[in-house]
Chain A
Amino acid sequence: MKNKKIKLMQGNEACVEGALAAGMKFFAGYPITPSTEIAEISSLRLPRIGGKFIQMEDEIAGMAAVIGGSLAGLKSMTATSGPGFSLKQENLGYAVLAEVPCVVVNVQRGGPSTGLPTMPAQGDIMQAKWGTHGDHPVIALSPSSVRETFDLTVKAFNYAEKYRMPVILLTDEVIGHMREKIEIPDPDEIEIIDRLKPEKGLDEYKPYEIKEGQVAPEMAAYGEGYRFHVTGLIHDETGFPSNDSKVAGDLVNRLMKKIDDNIDDLTLYEEYKLDDADIAVISYGITARSAKSAVDMARAEGLKVGLFRPMIIWPFPEKQIAQLGKRVKNIITAEMNLGQYVLEVERVANKYTNITKCGKANGELITPDEILAKIKEVQ
């Protein structure tokens, strides 16, 4: 029998393990509670495998260096929390437009502003989607456990590489700091996706040309012989800037299509006791664990309740939520904010069912009892 790698581990630690398993070779960041362990552990681990770590002078620089590192060929990650996530937004948009794969971890804490640095929140859900200016695609994942932090960090890298865009991992203070038993999978059990690279020795390499059947352009690295140009300006397939409205429209639409055309690949969720349910709780991240307990408590009292738990929160699982709306009499959206994801649930399912929000933003977790009370209220 194989020696299983079972460990007691913190979510932030599992994030680094997942990143290393996915092939992270560069981390640039800035210390911020409650994400700092991700930087600390990266600084300890990366040089041992020939990777690089740098603590930059600020959050903005951390994000910028990650984009530079990725364009020079390394799988790159940064980690932050609320205030730092705000600071990274302009660079995040650059990575979207310039199509640079990277992973941005936001270990959410109470906000706004400096807020509650040591307490959890899920208040950056809409910021993850709309924080950087302009129309843009977003992929954001939200784990509910330490083990899932490992798995979704691997997925975050894979999506970043496959779709050539930044991917956001939204955890929170509790997931980040909580310790749980986890079994680290063997490397050969983990699917790893690497960016498509152009063939060597081409006469001409167009860094933003989409070939038949590709979801994102082939990506050369600086120093590999293709002297290409990268800019945050609207550009054509050669990479050079353009003011042409057709070029601009085509580019922004193509970026959005990466998500729209691959929505099945970018939908990941768990259904729990939903088969015969009259009431569905929609919840993600740490709050989904309280929701699951609440479902069990309600079931013990004979109430037909189930849980829908998206692990990929952006893109929004529209099709599934609409179907859910048709199946149940009530949806309760439980999240540690004053009503963010529920806005999307309402957009998609309001015409089919009653939607109730269950949320708070005081630095405390939502308890199973609070969700159970909401279930009884709507039932």
Chain B
Amino acid sequence: MTNTLIENNFRTNRLPHIWCSGCGHGIIMRAITKAVDELGYNKDDVCVVSGIGCSSRAPGYMDFNTFHTLHGRALAYATGVKMAKPELKVIVVTGDGDCAAIGGNHLIHSARRNIDITTIVFNNNIYGMTGGQYSPTTPTGDKGTTAPFGNIDKNFDLCKLVQGAGATYVARSTAYHVNMITQQVKTGLENKGFSFIEAVSICPTYYGRKNKKGDAVSMMNYLKTNAVNVKAADKLPKEKIQGKFLIGEFYKSQEPEYTEEYQKIIDSFQKER
């Protein structure tokens, strides 16, 4: 049986991908592509921009306008693309190190502008491409190759960060909750503004091994049993959500979108003539 989603939306001659066996990134990449496919967008109108890291290799496999930029800078490059051609559907694919450490400034300012870019962070809690160093989302106490005695940094809650900075759609799902990723990316793409979806991934090769999390199946089971939907969380007693994490839609609002506001300035001069 041929898989039409893959046939129609991937550069099949570039496959198989480079990710390790058990990595959650392929699942997330497919879920994003499924969202674009289900929305029926013309592939020529979709531009996928990434930075550097494991996640950022995804655009190379996806059959859209694709742009593999520098470490941390995907959102800044994407802002240039979106400003120049607001009619493009711009998607940024990034990782926890890429968007929360070296690219943190671009992340908060893209959110603040509410520019119409849908950002999906593949959060595997580690720098995978460079071999397992701790990242801004590595939980406090966990290990990485540069945190051999346990991470003493506090880890970021990226959704709270980005919501605080002004994003108009903020959601989280996991590589286990794959249909939820697709649904959230669809909502994000249809939101006229800055949309942020944290897709919690798994890295059995580095994060899992360093922290004795077991194999890929055990790590997937962890996502399944520890993710609590935000809709259910309110009704649950505190002890039931202790040590777990929330998924679902955290925030949605309508605010003026950056490129539309700029277009109004341009239009005001057209009227003047």
Spell out A's residues near B (CB within 8 Å): 25-26, 28, 47-48, 50, 52, 54, 56-58, 60-61, 64-74, 76, 90-91, 94, 221-225, 227-233, 240-241
Contact = CB atoms under 8 A, between A and B. Distances in A.
A91 B78 CA distance: 14
Contact of A91 (B73, B83, B85, B88): B73
B265 interface: yes
Interface residues of B, number: 37
Contact of B84 (A58, A68, A231): A68
Please provide the 10 A-B residue pairs with the shortest distance between their CB atoms, ordered closest to farther.
A68-B80, A65-B80, A72-B84, A64-B76, A61-B76, A57-B109, A231-B68, A69-B80, A68-B77, A222-B65
A71 B67 CA distance: 9
Given A68-B83, A223-B85, 18 more contacts: A28-B80, A47-B269, A50-B266, A52-B262, A57-B106, A60-B73, A60-B76, A64-B69, A64-B70, A64-B79, A65-B76, A69-B80, A71-B81, A72-B88, A73-B85, A223-B47, A227-B66, A229-B66
A229 B80 contact: no
B68 A229 contact: yes
Given A47-B269, A222-B65, A72 B85 contact: yes
A240 B60 contact: yes
A230 B60 CA distance: 9
Given A48-B269, A231-B68, A68 B262 contact: no
B84 A26 contact: yes
B266 A47 contact: yes
Contacts of B85: 72-73, 221-223
A228 B62 CA distance: 10
20 contacts: A28-B83, A48-B269, A56-B109, A57-B109, A69-B81, A70-B84, A72-B80, A72-B81, A72-B84, A72-B85, A221-B85, A222-B65, A224-B44, A227-B44, A227-B63, A229-B66, A230-B66, A230-B68, A240-B60, A241-B68
Nearest to B77: A68
Nearest to B43: A227
A61 B69 contact: no
B83 A240 contact: no
B64 interface: yes
Interface of A is mostly: mixed
A77 B262 CA distance: 18
B76 A223 contact: no
Given A57-B109, A68-B84, A222-B85, A227 B67 contact: no
